[in-house]
């Protein structure tokens, strides 16, 4: 049975929004209930199941044409069992009722966003959703949805109260700074926005930096591993989603680094916005390999003769497309030093994508993640503290975080080994050519 609350079938296939064509006259079954006892039936599961879902003008319980003594119970004619409803009311309030039909006019303003979008798309297509970044709704549309991008964007702009800007991710990425280009679909061309995550504010120009709201749990998960005497080195810090909560937690020291000067600019501002500025945070704008070989190395060396050593040090490498290729730059950070002078663990958290070209069991992705990390760090028997599946990115593509202690034989090695820029570029190029990330 066709749901009477859906827009007219005639709008299917519409690509340019015409609000007038969504107007529709319907009749719905209603029951008059005395106002003084209506509250006694509202909570009934049977009544709730058969009542109309709340819309802009139509609600399950409505005023009855100005008659204050009566309320109108509005029922959904789809799959309605009249006898069951009347029997339920009789049992609840001991009155006999009759069902009458009432006319309603639905307009564009009355439909919810889900019904609107579904009504214009071919039945074989489905809109998978969007990400919220402050006032920005961020789409990642599949190719088959592109003809409908403007009408979907306008509907989201009209129906979502916080939304002022709608953009779609383009299947291109800036080679140097790893943020996606986007196109404006509807609303203001204003990309400076504020995101609140775990009570911290992150201000950014979303057109120039990377942000993924789906990683909020991962940010929390890593920060939960820190204690008050931890030192944090974030090599790909972005606008600060690991850095800021680490400072807020009160760790010993935080070093945040990013190659993108825009990210560094906003990271510094976010430290100020959240009133976290203190001597325990330092921010850098460097290539990660130089950050590891200078800033991280020098800070580690500073603890050699210190009586105030950290309990542990955490190196965060959250650039899943290429972060594993930076692992060799951690080799020999403490070469020629004595292991006994550094009696604290140095723990790496490296994020990576794992892709398959065919359908495989999930176990394969976990095993492949292990292989990729061990291969890049060149330690075949590397032991992991944790190999965590962060999220499903797309079909046949998973994101993992491998956590492990840097082995002494690697950390104190007399050989410094770094991956070549050519190797990183090869992996980066492969990532660009891969399937677009799917929104959930």
Residues 6+ apart with CB under 8 A from 57: 104, 106, 110
Is 289 in a helix, a strand, or coil? helix
The CB-based long-range contact list for 249-253 (8 Å cut-off, 24+ gap) reads 249/223, 251/226, 251/227, 251/280, 252/228, 252/280, 252/310, 253/280, 253/281, 253/282, 253/299, 253/310
- For residues 242 and 212, what is the distance between their CA atoms, to the nearest angstrom? 13
* Distance, CA of 88 to chain centre: 43
CA dist., res. 420 & res. 110, Å (int): 58
Q: What is the spatial distance between Cα 246 and Cα 423, in angstroms, rounded to a whole number?
A: 32
The count of residues in the chain is 440
Q: Is 259 annotated as a binding residue?
A: yes
Q: Is 219 annotated as a binding residue?
A: yes
Cα–Cα nearest to 319, from 109, 178, 160: 178
For residue 75, the 8-state DSSP code is B
Burial class (CB in 10 A: 0-12, 13-18, 19+), 251: buried
Residue with tokens 């503290």: 385
Whether the CB-CB separation of 354 and 389 falls below 8 Å is answered with no
Is 287 annotated as belonging to a binding site? yes
* Residue 288 assigned as binding residue: yes
Contact of 108 with 19, CB cutoff 8 Å: yes
Residues 6+ apart with CB under 8 A from 62: 71, 72, 74
Cβ neighbours of residue 433 closer than 8 Å, sequence gap 6 or more = none
Side-by-side strand order, sheet with 253-257: 281-284, 253-257, 230-234, 312-317, 345-355, 397-405, 386-394
The annotated binding site for S-adenosyl-L-methionine is made up of 219, 258-259, 287-288, 318
The annotated binding site is made up of 219, 258-259, 287-288, 318
């Amino acid at each position: 049975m066709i749901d009477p609350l859906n827009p007219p079938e005639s709008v299917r296939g519409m690509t340019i929004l015409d609000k007038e064509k969504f107007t529709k006259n319907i009749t719905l079954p209603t029951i008059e209930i005395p106002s003084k006892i209506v509250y006694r039936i509202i909570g009934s599961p049977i009544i709730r199941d058969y009542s109309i879902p709340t819309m802009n003008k139509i609600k399950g319980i409505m005023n009855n044409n100005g008659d204050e003594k009566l309320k109108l119970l509005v029922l959904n004619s789809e799959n309605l069992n009249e006898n069951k409803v009347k029997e339920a009311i009789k049992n609840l309030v001991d009155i006999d009722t009759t069902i009458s039909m009432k006319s309603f006019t639905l307009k564009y303003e009355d439909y919810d966003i889900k019904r609107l979008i579904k009504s214009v798309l071919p039945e074989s297509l489905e809109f998978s959703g969007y990400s919220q970044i402050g006032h920005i709704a961020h789409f990642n549309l599949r190719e088959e949805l592109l003809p409908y991008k403007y009408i979907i964007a306008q509907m989201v702009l009209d129906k979502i109260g916080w939304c002022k800007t709608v953009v779609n991710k383009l299947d291109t990425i800036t080679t140097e700074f790893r943020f996606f280009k986007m196109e404006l679909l509807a609303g203001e061309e204003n990309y400076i926005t504020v995101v609140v995550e775990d009570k911290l504010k992150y201000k950014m120009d979303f057109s120039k930096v990377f942000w993924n709201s789906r990683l909020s749990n991962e940010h929390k998960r890593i920060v939960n591993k820190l204690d008050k005497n931890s030192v944090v080195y974030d090599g790909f810090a972005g606008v600060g989603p690991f850095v800021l909560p680490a400072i807020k937690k009160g760790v010993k020291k935080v070093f945040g680094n990013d190659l993108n000067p825009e990210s560094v600019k906003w990271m510094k501002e976010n430290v100020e916005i959240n009133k976290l500025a203190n001597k325990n945070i330092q921010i850098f704008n460097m290539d990660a390999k130089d950050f590891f070989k200078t800033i991280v190395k020098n800070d580690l060396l500073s603890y050699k003769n210190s009586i105030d050593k950290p309990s542990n040090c955490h190196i965060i490498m959250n650039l899943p497309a290429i972060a594993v290729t930076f692992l060799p730059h951690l080799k020999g950070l403490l070469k020629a030093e004595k292991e006994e002078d550094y009696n604290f663990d140095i723990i790496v958290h490296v994020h990576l994508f794992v892709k398959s070209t065919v359908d495989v069991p999930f176990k394969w992705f976990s095993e492949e993640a292990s292989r990729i990390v061990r291969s890049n760090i060149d330690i075949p028997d590397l032991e992991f503290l944790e190999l965590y599946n962060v999220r499903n990115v797309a079909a046949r593509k998973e994101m993992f975080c491998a956590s492990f202690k840097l082995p002494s034989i690697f950390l104190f090695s007399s050989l410094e080994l770094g991956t070549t820029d050519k190797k990183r570029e090869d992996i980066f190029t492969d990532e660009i050519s891969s399937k677009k990330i799917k929104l959930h």
